[in-house]
Amino acid sequence: MTTRPHIRVELVSNPLYLAGVRELVSSVAKRLGFNETNCSHLALAVDEALCNVMRHGYERRMDGPIWVRIEHDERADGRLELRLTIEDEARQVDPGTIKSRDLCDVRPGGLGVHIIKEVMDEAKYERREKAGMRLTLIKRQPSEAPCTQSCCVERPTCATLHPAASGKGAPRS
């Protein structure tokens, strides 16, 4: 990976900016050759991650700084790897306590971490040195095989993740 980000965006923890970041991430991934499914997965993951920072880290304060870095590199096997890094100055938590909720525990909210881990190849939570948290998300360009993520094979409502198939456009928060 390069030491300088290819794209760096700074925003405040206001949900108004979620759509713009989703569109940026999806657009960059598409231009790099990621398929529609993976572009949608990337947009969904960044949206869930930013929502978690805004809700839980900043406790719905709308003035906390958030930085999103987008980097890409070609792997030894020739496939592209896209790395999204989200940093904030919000409340720190022990990364070991950030876990997916049991899907049998049906209640509103609380599925962001599960969704992120389902649609990304890697998700790493870390405390930043002075303040806040860092989440690194990695998505590798797949071979041309169809998507086998559990969100695509287990749920018929997954068309919301695949705008090209459903004709409904990008996922919304």
Comparing 6-20, 132-146, 158-172, which segment has the lowest mean pLDDT?
A: 158-172
pLDDT tens digit sequence for 9-60: 999 999 999 999 999 999 999 999 999 999 999 999 999 999 999 999 999 9
Placement of tokens 């050759």 in the chain: 33
Q: Output the pLDDT for position 121.
A: 97
> At 32, is the secondary structure helix, strand, or coil?
coil
* Mean pLDDT computed over 76-90: 94
Question: In this structure, is the dihedral angle defined by the CA atoms of residues 116, 32, 25 and 138, taken in order, positive or negative?
Answer: positive
Task: List, in order of start, the domains of the chain with CATH numbers.
Answer: 7-166 (3.30.565.10)
Instruction: Output the pTM of the full model.
Output: 0.77
Give CA–CA dist 69/97, Å, rounded: 24
pLDDT (tens digit per residue) in 98-124: 777 666 665 556 678 889 999 999 999
d(CA 141, CA 56): 31
104 near 62, Cβ under 8 Å?
Answer: no
Pairing of strands 7-12, 65-74: antiparallel
Cβ–Cβ < 8 Å for 69, 21: no
- Which residue did the predictor score with more confidence, 159 or 47? 47
For residue 95, the model assigns a pLDDT of 77
